[in-house]
Structure 1
Amino acid sequence: MANEIAAERFSLFREYYDELVRYLTAKLRSRDQAQDVAQEAFLRVLTQSQQQMLTAGERISYSAQGGLSAITAIDIAAETAWTTDEMIFDERPLGEVVQEIGRYHPGEIRVLDPRLSERKISGRFSVHDREAFLRAVKAATRAQSASLGGNVIVLSE
């Protein structure tokens, strides 16, 4: 029953989120603040039966099946870097980093070697400069890159 109520609340939130954010943006004159207020309001409504209090630098997730997750710590700078067209990674597997950066570019970057894909990489990268990202990856991992045409780049050891 609680999951059904939560699913209904989530459905309402998704249905009215954009309209609510537009209204709050006009009132607050900041889309970022409007999104924060809308999401905070949603979490309060959603979790009336599962009260959790978050502070800056913490994250919680929700699923209709499992309800609220445990609170986990996050790196605020890394989580919000995309708002300034950057991505920050700290000891993340290269395969994950390539996927995240790749979302901002046409084509694809493929990591051919599974060992290379698992190598940890750290850095701050512009989402608009794929070539600088590739240079940094090659310097950090000694990987080789090759263009297959059609905006497909492969990385290998």
Structure 2
Amino acid sequence: MSDSESTSQTTRDQAIAWLLRLRDAPADAQLQRTFADWLAINPAHQTAYRQVQAQWDWLEPLKDQAFRARDEALRYRPQTHHSTWRQWPAYSAAAALLFGVGLAIFSPQGWYGLPHSYNTAKGQRQVVALSDGSELELNTDTEVRVHFNHAQRRVELIRGEAFFKVIHNADRPFSVQAGNLSVRDIGTAFDVYKQADRVSVTVQEGVVEMSVQSEHRELHAGQQLAYSDDHRFVPVIASDIAAATAWRQGQLIFNGRRLVEVLAEIGRYHDVQIRLPDPKLAELRVNGSFRTEQLDGMLNAVTALLPVNVKRIGEREIVLEAASGKR
């Protein structure tokens, strides 16, 4: 082991010890001052402590689970406070054991893996870097649950829409579960949109396999397919790759979409109810590109394109009515 490696490990052990001591005596003013002095000695101390703190926070979900390493680490208490340096080995040994067991069992590469949930509110988007190097991008009002372990990588799309850039690994397959539909990556970038009556899949790069029980469909770059709530694979109508993934640039693109569908899409991004009481207006077709964050701009564009007027009823309710003499 080189001197730098030894020093790094020593610093890490000290950081672990400090973490446990500060948790044990958070109100000890003298301890806080000594800790501040230790941080100031070397920038590497600050880096090591941040890393150890981040690992501890990552293991926080295990606080209600009992296993020997954790119990030993949390049960340890020093007999006196006279010699900080002499107490470090006992602290760091217990904590290192805790971290080692936790990372080996519960990390995304561990035997079991610990699920993580991510979600966005209406109007929000979020990009999540996954532990395997893959990337997950969440659209508005979306929730996913990520479960990685030593054998597999699985994401459950609970609601909404997400775009996946997957680092392919045949030994650890990557799959997305949306209702009854399973989407398996074969080295690709793809979009999955869970709607009330269907799950739509759009492939930007590579190949995916859509599976439901014994039925399978393979999709290649540039292709789209949906699985409906009546248990059928159905083509995606009046859409294309650019339109399906435009939300990633904060846009909505409609190519001949029915007005009722357009209003449903607009409503995903804003905390308002948009109603269309006249069923005759539902079949009007919309073409154009709109910014998702600009509700008034989208509605004004719709009224400019179609014979409808916008009527606001309170702060969170909007009604579209036929424009007089233009139906």
**TM above 0.5:** yes
Structure with greater proportional strand content: 2
Query: Of the candidates 76, 81, 86, which is equivalent to residue 246 of structure 2?
Result: 81
SS in 2 for 1:105: coil
Query: Of the candidates 123, 133, 155, which is equivalent to residue 28 of structure 1?
Result: 133
Asked which structure has the greater CA Rg, the reply is 2
Structure 1 residue 141: Cα displacement: 0.6
CA contact (8 A) 2:209 2:219 kept: no
Q: Give me the identity figure in percent.
A: 31
* Structure 1 residue 38 corresponds to structure 2 residue 143: no
Mark the CA change 1:35 to 1:50 in structure 2 (over 3 Å): closer, same or farther.
farther
- Give me the whole-angstrom Cα distance separating, in 1, the residues matched to 2:211 and 2:255: 32
For residues 28-63 of structure 1, what are the alpha-carbon distances to aligned partners after superposition, in whole Å with 9 as ceiling and x for unaligned? 253231399534536659479545332112233447
**Aligned position for 2:217:** 52
Aligned CA RMSD, in angstroms, stands at: 3.5
For residues 94-148 of structure 1, what are the alpha-carbon distances to aligned partners after superposition, in whole Å with 9 as ceiling and x for unaligned? 1110011112111211123222221001111122111000110010013111111
- Give me the whole-angstrom Cα distance separating, in 1, the residues matched to 2:229 and 2:259: 31
- Give me the whole-angstrom Cα distance separating, in 2, the residues matched to 1:130 and 1:38: 35
- Give me the whole-angstrom Cα distance separating, in 1, the residues matched to 2:315 and 2:290: 23
Which stretches in structure 1 are left out of the alignment for 5+ residues?
1-15
Bigger relative contact order (CA 8 A; separation at least 6): 1
CA contact (8 A) 1:91 1:122 kept: yes
SS in 1 for 2:319: strand
* Structure 1 residue 102 corresponds to structure 2 residue 245: no
SS in 1 for 2:271: coil
SS in 2 for 1:134: helix
Mark the CA change 1:87 to 1:72 in structure 2 (over 3 Å): closer, same or farther.
closer
* Structure 1 residue 148 corresponds to structure 2 residue 313: yes
CA contact (8 A) 1:107 1:151 kept: yes
Count of paired positions: 138
TM-score, normalised relative to structure 1: 0.68
TM-score, normalised relative to structure 2: 0.36
